[in-house]
Structure formats: structure tokens, C-alpha cells
Amino acid sequence: MDATPARPRPLLALLIRLGAIAALATMAALIKLASERGIHLLEILFWRQAITIPLLLAYVSATGGLAMLATKRPRTHAVRATYGMIGMVLNFGGVILLPLAEATTMNFTAPIWAVILSTLLLKEKVGLWRWSAVLFGFAGVLLIAQPGSGHIPLYGALVAIGGAFMIALISIQLADLGRTDKPLTIVFWFAALSTPVMALSLPFVFQPHDTTGWLLLLAIGLAGTAGQLLLTAALRFGAVASVIVMDYSALVWATLYGWLFWQVLPPSSTWLGAPLIIAAGLVIAWREHRLSRPSLRDVARVEGT
């Protein structure tokens, strides 16, 4: 992708971001469908990453040349890939274990974890606004999870929240990598380094697939890569603070897919808790904008899929 700053086009940025979220929500539904057909999580992860490599190579060859994938920080990318694989296991696992709407909503806690981690790891001073947002966000999580109620499995909720935590943790690393490497370079090296590691699991988890199974795996890779590219493109035309609100449209897609494929609609507890988590994320994004800092969650979003 050309590194030359593009002319701001706020409406186009919103539309592209909306498309990115639709692609990633579609990927989540496909992951759940693939799992229900007996495809192992580790195999899903392998094909999700493996398909990305030729797609990105073709994309950069057509737009900016392979030189844009060069990096001088292979060790940092290796550490990032390790964290990223853990994050993908947790995020994809949350989608498999929970109804789509609840898994999606738990993912919205990433900016809440980013505030906590920025305090602990970066020694950043966090004021009343963001700490209040953290408390409201966790209140929303408790409303949805309702520990002991049996509405959703506690184990699944913890896995999904762990995935959001990893997105926030990775974001700190990506903020550092972003100083020297382009977003597509980071995406490529994550796929290139993680695919061989994930391939080691294939002899233990691979099973023959019918045509539908292979199409699902291909669609997961295509949807995930499209989402990554669109997320990157949106930030060329609009500021983080102006486009991040589109992220919460994922809940609409998750609800729609849950109804279409599984005839499941979120209960009232989800509709009560989700606004608290979404409001917390928006307050944090607003404060990040006021403090002139890039949203940590947004930096990580390209990499957490």
C-alpha cells in the first residue's frame, strides 16, 4: 500500500470501516460453522493464516512491490507472532464456545484492558474518565456473563475475555512496531511466521473434508484478509476517533448471523450489558483522541483477526 498520506474522506472511511467489520463478523460466523462440521480449531487457524500469505503477496505486488514487506526487526515480529497465535486461539475459541453476539460483545472489552495495561506496563496516568469507563465496561461483562446463571458457559466467557486481553496486550507491541513497519508488513510477517508453527499441528488434527468444508476454510481466509486490508484502508481516509464507532456494528452482524444459522437471539441480559461495554469503549476512544494518542485497540484490530 502506498505510504503517501491520502486526502481525508470521512464518509468513505466510515463506509470502508463498515465493510471491514462486516467481513470480520462473517469470518467469525464461518469459523463457528466450520467447527460444527468437525474441523479442529488448530486447522482453522492454519488455513486462516496460510491463505493470507499468497493473497498479500499478490496485493503488494500489484500495488507497491515486494520491497514494502521488508523489515529490520525480525525478532520483534517473532515475539509478536507468538502473542498473536495465543490471541487467535482465544478469540476463535470464544467464537466457537459462545453464541456469536456474546462472543462479539466480550471482544469489545479490548479497550478496557488496554487502559489497565497502559497503566501497569507503560506507567501512564489514567484519569477519572477512563477509570469510570473501565468500571462501566466490567459491569456490562457481569450483566452478560451472569456467573452461576448458566446463560452462557463461564469457561467460554473467560476464553473470549482472554482473547480481548491479548488484543490489548498485542496493541502495545504493535504500537512500537508501527513506528518502523507498515501495517501490511506487520500482517504479512505475522502470517509468514505463524503458519509454519501451526502446520506442526496438522498431522494430529487434520481430517479429510468434503467440498463444503474446504469452501468454509477458503472463505475464512478470504474474509479475514479482506477485513484486515479494509481496516488498514479506512485509516488512510479517516481518523481513528471518527471511524471506531463503526466497530460496534459487529454486534448487529453477530445477531443477524446467530438468528440465520442457529435461530438464536441474544437474551435481555446481553442487550443490557452490551451498551455499557460499548459506551466504555467509546469514552476511552474519545479520551485517547483528546490526549492525541492513537487508540491502542485500533492499532491491534488489524492484527487480532
Rounded mean pLDDT for each run of 10 residues along the chain, 305 residues in total: 57 87 95 96 96 90 84 92 94 95 91 84 78 87 76 88 90 79 86 95 94 97 89 71 77 94 90 89 78 54 54
Spatial CB neighbours of 43, under 8 Å, sequence gap ≥ 6 = 201, 202, 205, 206, 207, 217
Q: What is the pLDDT of residue 167?
A: 85
Is 186:178 a contact under the CB 8 Å cutoff? Answer: yes
Helix (H) / strand (E) containing 295: none
C-alpha pair distances (Å), 11 with each of 25, 49, 233, 249, 259: 21, 31, 13, 16, 30
Q: What is the pLDDT of residue 229?
A: 80
- Tell the burial category of 267 from Cβ atoms under 10 Å away from its Cβ (0-12, 13-18, 19+): middle
Query: The C-alpha cell of 132 is what?
Result: 469510570
Instruction: Tell me which DSSP letter residue 291 carries.
Output: T
Q: What is the pLDDT of residue 1?
A: 44
In angstroms, rounded to a whole number, what is the distance separating the alpha carbons of residues 287 and 130?
A: 7
Q: What is the pLDDT of residue 220?
A: 97
Q: What is the pLDDT of residue 3?
A: 46
In angstroms, rounded to a whole number, what is the distance separating the alpha carbons of residues 226 and 222?
A: 6
Beta strands in 158-303 (DSSP E): none
Torsion of CA 302, 182, 120, 84, to 10 degrees: 50
Q: Counting every residue, how long is the chain? A: 305
Q: What is the pLDDT of residue 86?
A: 96
At 239, give phi and psi (nearest 5°). Answer: -75, 155
Q: Which residue is it, cell 507503560? A: 122
Dihedral of CA 201/203/205/207: which sign? positive
In angstroms, rounded to a whole number, what is the distance separating the alpha carbons of residues 236 and 238?
A: 6
In angstroms, rounded to a whole number, what is the distance separating the alpha carbons of residues 243 and 12?
A: 10
